[in-house]
Amino acid sequence: MEKPKHHIFVCASFRVGGAPKGICEKKGSADFLGYLENELIDRGLDGVLVSSTGCLKVCDRGPAMVIYPENIWYGGIDGEDALDEIIDAIENEGVADKYLIS
């Protein structure tokens, strides 16, 4: 496998010990993974990897995700429209300002 150009880490609220505990998982972040992967395929966007991760420690801004290597953090991701904006930003090499955690 080639290294991804962009790696999206979606907070799944996991804590030490593995149990999810936090706002992101409660607000449906687990469903974001499948949506993102399907949308990336539909758009033919290669080189973008999607993974779930433990708590990103920005719970008050969740649901949250971070994209590397850009180190772009997003929060308040409230559904598919938000995810579409974020994928648009990746596609256009920009930033989805509305969800940016600065």
Residue 85: CB minimum distance to ligand FES, A:
19
Would you say 4 or 20 has its CB closer to ligand FES? 20
Which residues are near ligand FES by CB under 6 A? 11, 13, 22-24, 55-59, 62, 64
| Nearer residue to ligand FES within complex by CB, 33 or 59 | 59
Helices (H), 6-101: 23-26, 29-43, 80-91
Q: State how far the Cα of 32 lies from the Cα of 74, in Å rounded to an integer.
A: 13
Please report how close the Cβ of residue 58 comes to ligand FES at its closest, in angstroms: 5
First to last CA, the chain: 32
Q: Which is nearer to ligand FES, 95 or 101 (CB)?
A: 101
Taking the C-alpha atoms of residue 60 and residue 6, their distance in angstroms, rounded to an integer, is 25
Q: Which residue number places its CB atom closest to ligand FES?
A: 22
Q: Which residues pair with 6 in a beta bridge?
A: 48
